Amino acid sequence: YYTMMMVIILGIVYLIQAVKDKTIADFSKASIALLIAAFIAVLPNITRLLVTYEYGEVTMRGKSELKAESEKSTGLEKSYAFRWSNGIAETMTILIPHYYGGASATNIGSDSELAQAFQKRGVSAAQAAQLTANAPTYWGKQPITSGPTYFGAGILFLFVLGLQLIRGPDKWWILITTILMTMLSWGNNFPALTDLFFDHYPAYNKFRAVSMMLTLPAFTVPLLAIMVLHRVFTEKLTFKDISKPLYISAGITGGLCLIFALMPSIAGDFKGASDAQLRELGWPVDALIADRKSMLSTDAFRSLFFILATAGAIWAYLNKKLKMQHALIAVGLLFLIDLWMVDKRYLNDDDFVDSQKVEVPYQPTQADQQILNDPDPHFRVFNVALDPFADASTSYFHKSLGGYHGAKLKRYQELIERHIGQNNMSVISMLNTKYFIVNAQGGGAPIAQMNRQAMGNAWFVQSHEIVEDPDAEIAALSDFDPAQTLFVDKRFESQIDPNYKYDSLATINLTEYKANHLTYQSNSRTEQLAVFSEVYYDLGWNAYIDGEQVPHFRGNYILRAMMIPAGEHKVEFKFEPSSYYTGEKIALAGSILLYLGFGGIMFLQVRSIKNDEPVEEVQEKPVKKRSKVKKKNTK
């Protein structure tokens, strides 16, 4: 999506250039060819795009059916989408990586001011080392970060040089993309632009963590840097030709580094969001602030070195001190060493994970083991010993009521907010939550508790109640008995036979469970209204009774329900999304078209080569001239 935004900018810049050069016809032909190529490229991947788009419309990124929520625009909440917004001044990390302290948890070592301050307060060296191993050095505006976005000091120096030496449309689309995406990465720190895009630019409100916008400048900045290197090393420029741009570029980038190296305090107050809390816990926060200043100053000197070294390599080449190959190797090594050293701060030997731990990332707890001993595996577990909606470990062993997903179904998220998160036991039980994992009283390992009100995988209800709309349906779940009553939106009223009579001896059981195929066996003396403890999703799930497809509908805001006739029946749910099968057919046609295109290009290329082969000239042998014999006139 971000790349498409960049391509649009590129296209507009080239269109303006085509108008100036009066080459609209050539621009149009090239654009049409590229659009056809893009269309053919999309076709083999259309299945994923179709099913993702279809699913996205009913997720948190889609529109709610609740009146209070539906008044809002489709997409994510602004506060959620902009939670990770890059600070305006934080953009300086692309030049000085530790400008804002690096990561939220940084090992600053035993030589740090913080470690020394701890030891002065009587903390042992070992304890001080533990406390400083994950020091909160980051003091920016993001809630938490694993590290800064750093482009490379030498690369930024060349980018500024490129703005002066590169001509034509390439410079302009690169510059516009870099500036616009950087400003958009500021998110809620620059609402004038961000709100404009969020409210009006197509699909922009479907994405979050706008700080990721810096991935595009991370591409465009090095691109222009390489373009200017190409010009310097291939056009035989002299030092006189580029001395002024070289000095300006080094002055701007190196000058900034020198200023912050000598006067780090001008960057701000270096106070982090958690400093007040740390001070209450007895931390020497002033020492931590001193470390943050030192980190900025040290990295500023470091960036200054790489800028001067890169500029020096180019100067040496232009003044015949270095051969081109040697200068290129020097610049390349400077890039590599610079980025490698910063990368090693955040991805190093400490991050190595043994393959066995990857294959078995979680070990079952005592509570997990207790639940796994249950002979019936078809139930759900609600782990409240951890944050249930940010935890993945529960899902490793059990069918979890919680878990995290950045694009949950909108209705399920609303159910979490209105009922599950409020510990509504009726709702939790209708979702077949047979076990809770809770913290033991007085500490100790978490324990498992059985919920004897769990409704099971399916059941027959005694009655139903038609509600006016989704608002009434979700509100009705506040106080009800799921075994007695099913709430149904009036849109599905026609699918319910009002004359059914509840059979207390009727049974319905899950007999086979697969992720995309559920099988039940029912037995009743009369027609029954069945409820299934599965999420209703009509964009793919089809219901069958004895092999024949039948309608089913939504009940209790989230669950599946259907009428089941009297007698013994095999009831099935199969996941058969039409978008998937349609997409696969289109993808197959696209793949065939792609291969035919490749084949045609290869055929034309081979034929062109054959036609261009030189034809050997055949030298004619000299023919001896016969002597002319005069014929006698024989009249």
- The model's pLDDT over 490-502, given as tens digits with 9 standing for 90+, comes to 999 999 999 999 9
Contact 322, 313 (CB under 8 A): yes
The band of 614, judged by pLDDT with boundaries at 50, 70 and 90, is low
Q: Are 219 and 275 in the same domain?
A: yes
26 contacts: CB under 8 Å, gap ≥ 6: 18
Q: Are 129 and 268 in the same domain?
A: yes
**579, 594, 624 — which closes off a domain?**
579
Rounded alpha-carbon distances, angstroms, from residue 586 to 34, 37, 47, 368, 510: 20, 16, 8, 45, 36
Name residue, tokens 């899950």: 510
pLDDT mean over 94-112: 95
**295, 310, 344 — which closes off a domain?**
344
CATH code (residue 498): 2.60.40
The chain-wide mean pLDDT, for the chain, equals 92
36 contacts: CB under 8 Å, gap ≥ 6: none
The reply to whether 353 falls in a domain is no
Q: Are 366 and 336 in the same domain?
A: no
> How many Cα atoms are found within 13 Å in the side-chain-facing hemisphere of 562?
25
The band of 634, judged by pLDDT with boundaries at 50, 70 and 90, is very low
Say whether pLDDT at 382 is over 80: yes
pLDDT mean over 249-253: 97
What pLDDT score does 635 carry?
Answer: 43
The pairing of beta strand 567-575 with beta strand 517-524: antiparallel
Say whether pLDDT at 224 is over 70: yes
Output 226 or 348, whichever has higher pLDDT. Answer: 226
The secondary structure element, H or E, covering residue 343 is helix 324-346
* Enclosing domain of residue 444: 361-450
The reply to whether 597 falls in a domain is no
pLDDT mean over 477-489: 96
pLDDT mean over 380-399: 93
Output 627 or 437, whichever has higher pLDDT. Answer: 437
The reply to whether 177 falls in a domain is yes
Say whether pLDDT at 273 is over 60: yes
Q: Are 402 and 425 in the same domain?
A: yes
The reply to whether 631 falls in a domain is no
What's the gap between Cα 131 and its chain centre?
33
Say whether pLDDT at 620 is over 50: yes
Bridge partner list, 409? 59
The reply to whether 9 falls in a domain is no
Percent of all residues in the chain with a pLDDT value above 70, rounded to a whole number: 95
Q: Are 436 and 467 in the same domain?
A: no
The reply to whether 109 falls in a domain is yes
Go through the chain and tell me how many residues it has: 635
d(CA 286, CA 114): 8
Q: Are 269 and 140 in the same domain?
A: yes
What pLDDT score does 353 carry?
Answer: 83
pTM here?
Answer: 0.81
Q: Are 263 and 389 in the same domain?
A: no
Q: How many CB atoms lie within 10 A of CB 157?
A: 28
Contact 27, 14 (CB under 8 A): yes
Q: Are 413 and 523 in the same domain?
A: no
Output 285 or 630, whichever has higher pLDDT. Answer: 285
What pLDDT score does 214 carry?
Answer: 96
Name residue, tokens 């470390």: 291
The band of 205, judged by pLDDT with boundaries at 50, 70 and 90, is confident
Of 71, 3, 20, which Cα lies nearest the Cα of 220? 3
Q: Are 260 and 119 in the same domain?
A: yes
**399, 432, 450 — which closes off a domain?**
450
Q: Are 227 and 337 in the same domain?
A: yes
Contact 115, 106 (CB under 8 A): no
The reply to whether 180 falls in a domain is yes
The reply to whether 40 falls in a domain is no
Q: How many domains does the chain have?
A: 3
Q: Are 211 and 193 in the same domain?
A: yes
The band of 615, judged by pLDDT with boundaries at 50, 70 and 90, is low
Say whether pLDDT at 317 is over 70: yes
pLDDT mean over 208-220: 94
Q: Are 179 and 316 in the same domain?
A: yes
